[in-house]
Structure 1
Amino acid sequence: MLSPEAHYRLAFLQSILAPNHMLNAATHYQIGYSDLSLVLALVRGGTLARAAALLRVDVSTVFRAVRRLESSLGQSLFEKSRAGYLPTRLATTLAEQAERAEQALEAARIGVELGGEVISGTVRLTCTDSVLQGVLLPALAQFMPNYPALTLELSTSNDFANLSRRDADIALRLTKTPPEHLVGRRLGTVSYRVCASAGYMQRHDVRDLTALAWIAPDDFLPDHPTVAWRRQHLPGVTPCYRCNSMLSATQLVRAGLGVAALPDFMLDEAHGMQPLGPSLAGYDTALWLLTRPDCRALRSVVTLFDELGQHVRLPRF
């Protein structure tokens, strides 16, 4: 059975040999499968040589094919520069379509091999880097191998706006009040505890929190629950380290550089991290699984949403 790449190469070679490949732009040239394979190869490769290697043809063949296609379309697809061939907006759009076709071919192949229906497509998921590290990765490891035709694009961000701007399909967010225009599921409560490494605790008297080296979120997270707690209960403390993410704060704590109020799901005793007391009462939040209303019509998004709802687990202390 031919792989998607082999299908592209075959269609490309057939188009090169076809006598009617070269058409005038005025005849309303229709993009074919081979054209998509050509554009995708050059976008991925960036140079004629790498594109030729991907298509398993010679460089002159790729050069002539690009010239023919641009002439047929009446538009430029690439700009030549010292760095190679830079795609225009049209070429980028065609390459995205080509990748979807490639994914569809792969899904069809897998469906034939497995003898059943296959969930395919690309789902864009966003979360914070701490949620990715402490919560999402263990969940993905449990079920993603069951969906070989499903592509997941991950981005880490603290902003709800990327879901609102349609830059993502699903979000895992720590909040008590998710935006009303999103739909979702509350996965559980997240508490925070002051933590330190075992080595740091041996070197310092951790009973006096004001005398310790504090690691805290910077101005990038001004409304974080741990910031509000510290300002309320330790107003005289000035952090020695400021981080733009809770994952960075966790890594500094693991390195023995100080103490920080961290979410329970980042408390890793296997790495020598220990809580210095109970959770910060009144400063907990919630983990929400969110999506846009229009995404509920997409089977790939619904499938991933349901799987995350079943497999994401928050630790209990």
Structure 2
Amino acid sequence: MLSPGAHYRLAFTQSILAMPHMFNAVTHYRMDYPDLSLILALVRGGTLARAAGLLRVDVSTVFRAVRRLEAALGQTLFEKSRAGYLPTTLATTLAEQAERAEQALDAARIGVEQGGEVISGTVRLTCTDSVLQGLLLPALGQFMPDYPALTLELSTSNDFANLSRRDADVALRLTTTPPEHLVGRCLGTVSYRICASARYVQQHAMGELADLAWIAPDDFLPDHPTVAWRRQHLPGVVLSYRCNSMLSVAELVRAGLGVAALPDYLLGDGQGLLPLGPALAGHDTALWLLTRPDCRALRSVVTLFDELGRHVSLPGRTQT
């Protein structure tokens, strides 16, 4: 079995061979992890003094080490300026490799400390912006610190194409009809309520709903439950604001610009949103946690899937 260092050297060698126009000189010098640590510290620090602090050595040691490494490589790694040491393209690329090696070593250390296999790798997660803000971020804060070697790539989107095109591994989606080719579990029901800010309520008489300034999603969500409700109950209302995301709709309401139908998970204490009535009857939806069938063999995906299933907290849902 290859050691973490050997794995890194193999990956680094492959990257060199893939870009010969950049690394012809590098192949004549056998780089090691201390070289990469030096480059990474100077890229992060930007000055000799800060790099020395990161490496816990003196400034002269960093200066001499950089000069020696550049001479060995036959290429310039940093350009000195008034702002400090600016990395060249080569230094930036090597720093990226160094970060990967650093992550691999961290994962190895964690494995030794925990006495078992570490959950590591990158998982791509997609959800809507309002789900990210209202549900996902609180959940991630509860369990992600327990997985320091697990990396998440987050994207916000309003459709299922990300999973279908394999652009994502896990999705949190509001729907009553999840695609049959995906697998997952329903985390609970989401209701919607007409809301306004306290300031808007104070400044406007709460008479007929149709007479209020309405904020709603634009044509990007033509089948959204709130759109369906408005078309059914307020067919003649003229919208004052259209937004391309539900989170933007909520922010405009919070700013006192009007009223809107918002999901109940955005209505917690301290959110500045006041419900003007009960939930919109017959227009609930469900929150689904979904993944592709082929992802169920990946331990990183399964771990994230299970943790989200336990920690995503919908109003009225009992945590397992």
The TM-score range, normalised by the shorter chain, is 0.7 to 0.9
Q: Deviations over 1:113-136 (max 9, x none)?
A: 334433222222221111111111
Asked if 1:124 corresponds to 2:124, the answer is yes
What secondary structure sits across from 2:286 in the alignment? strand
Alpha carbons 1:120, 1:300 under 8 Å: kept: yes
Q: Which runs of 5+ in 1 are unaligned?
A: 13-22, 72-76, 78-83
What residue identity is the alignment partner of 2:202? Q
Closer/same/farther in 2, CA of residues 158 and 39 from structure 1, 3 Å limit: farther
Closer/same/farther in 2, CA of residues 87 and 126 from structure 1, 3 Å limit: farther
Alpha carbons 1:35, 1:69 under 8 Å: kept: no
State the Cα RMSD in Å: 3.9
Which residue of structure 2 aligns with residue 251 of structure 1? 251
Alpha carbons 2:28, 2:73 under 8 Å: kept: no
In structure 2, C-alpha distance between the alignment counterparts of 1:67 and 1:221, rounded to whole Å: 59
Which residue of structure 2 aligns with residue 293 of structure 1? 293
What residue identity is the alignment partner of 2:164? S
Alpha carbons 1:126, 1:157 under 8 Å: kept: yes
Q: Deviations over 1:94-125 (max 9, x none)?
A: 87665443222101112223344332222222
Q: Deviations over 1:69-118 (max 9, x none)?
A: 699xxxxx9xxxxxx76759xx86x8766544322210111222334433
Shift of 1:215: 0.9
Alpha carbons 2:29, 2:72 under 8 Å: kept: no
What secondary structure sits across from 2:250 in the alignment? helix
1:67-82 correspondence runs (5 A)? none
1:1-317 correspondence runs (5 A)? 87=89, 98-316=98-316
Closer/same/farther in 2, CA of residues 221 and 98 from structure 1, 3 Å limit: farther
Alpha carbons 2:187, 2:309 under 8 Å: kept: yes
Closer/same/farther in 2, CA of residues 181 and 96 from structure 1, 3 Å limit: farther
What residue identity is the alignment partner of 1:198? A
Alpha carbons 1:52, 1:59 under 8 Å: kept: no
Q: Deviations over 1:187-240 (max 9, x none)?
A: 111111111123322332324011001111123333322122212221211211
Q: Deviations over 1:132-190 (max 9, x none)?
A: 11111221222222223322232222232223333322111112222233221111111
Share of identical aligned residues, percent?
77
Which residue of structure 2 aligns with residue 17 of structure 1? none
In structure 2, C-alpha distance between the alignment counterparts of 1:288 and 1:95, rounded to whole Å: 39
Closer/same/farther in 2, CA of residues 132 and 95 from structure 1, 3 Å limit: same
Which residue of structure 2 aligns with residue 15 of structure 1? none
Q: Deviations over 1:47-77 (max 9, x none)?
A: 9999999888757965885797699xxxxx9
In structure 2, C-alpha distance between the alignment counterparts of 1:311 and 1:254, rounded to whole Å: 27
TM-score normalised by structure 2 residue count: 0.72
Shift of 1:271: 3.5
In structure 2, C-alpha distance between the alignment counterparts of 1:107 and 1:222, rounded to whole Å: 45
Closer/same/farther in 2, CA of residues 116 and 191 from structure 1, 3 Å limit: same
Alpha carbons 1:126, 1:154 under 8 Å: kept: yes
Closer/same/farther in 2, CA of residues 24 and 124 from structure 1, 3 Å limit: closer
Q: Which runs of 5+ in 2 are unaligned?
A: 13-22, 78-85
In structure 1, C-alpha distance between the alignment counterparts of 2:162 and 2:51, rounded to whole Å: 33
